[in-house]
Each structure stands twice: as structure tokens, then as C-alpha cells.
Amino acid sequence: GENVEQHPSTLSVQEGDSAVIKCTYSDSASNYFPWYKQELGKGPQLIIDIRSNVGEKKDQRIAVTLNKTAKHFSLHITETQPEDSAVYFCAATNTPLVFGKGTRLSVIA
């Protein structure tokens, strides 16, 4: 089955700096790579996803990249703000969805 590795487990950045979270996957059949954000006391929420036939996708301050050959994908957050502080999960799916272990991002004002 699919195995998703996520790094780092914790990340602290100064407000305004960029944050990068990296993930690798094992199953070449996986074709969707979503990212979820979990705020304290809440369930995870989808923030962006990328399909296997796309190399990069942007949505305002968030971008995701995918390297199918190397089987890794990354989340980039630019101009970080305190409200970006949360736990972020990457995931890979053929079926069912398999999550990484999460990255706790702290944005220091």
C-alpha cells in the first residue's frame, strides 16, 4: 500500500518569511496529492491539491509542487502570517487517502 513520509515534524518561522513542507510517497499509481490544514480543536480542512499530471499549482500565498519521477511533493507558504499557524498534513491517494504524520507550523510575530 501507499506510504507517505512528511518532513519536518515541526517548523517555526518569523512572520513574513516563507515555509516549506516536503513529502514523499511510495505508490506510483497515486494520482492526487492534497494538503490539509488543521487548526487547534478542529478537523482537517483541504487547502489545496495537485494532480499527477500537473507540476505546480498556486493559490494566493500557497503553492504546491510535484515531482513524479522522484515521488515527492511540497507545500510552499509565502509571506507567512500568524493565522497560518496550524498542523499541515500532506496526503496521497489512489484509494483510499493516506496521510503523512503532519507538520506543526508556528509563525512567530
Partner 1 sequence: NAGVTQTPKFQVLKTGQSMTLQCAQDMNHEYMSWYRQDPGMGLRLIHYSVGAGITDQGEVPNGYNVSRSTTEDFPLRLLSAAPSQTSVYFCASSKQGAYYEQYFGPGTRLTVT
Q: Please report, as ranges, the residues that interact with partner 1 according to CB under 8 A.
A: 6, 9, 32-34, 41-46, 49, 89, 91, 93, 95-102
Nearer to partner 1 (CB atom), residue 78 or residue 94: 94
Nearer to partner 1 (CB atom), residue 10 or residue 18: 10
HEC assignment per residue over the chain: CCCEEEECCEEEEECCCCEEEEEEECCCCCCEEEEEEECCCCCCEEEEEEECCCCEEEECCEEEEEECCCCEEEEEECCCCHHHCEEEEEEEECCCEEECCCEEEEEEC
Q: How far is the CB of 5 from partner 1 (least distance, A)?
A: 10
Nearer to partner 1 (CB atom), residue 9 or residue 28: 9
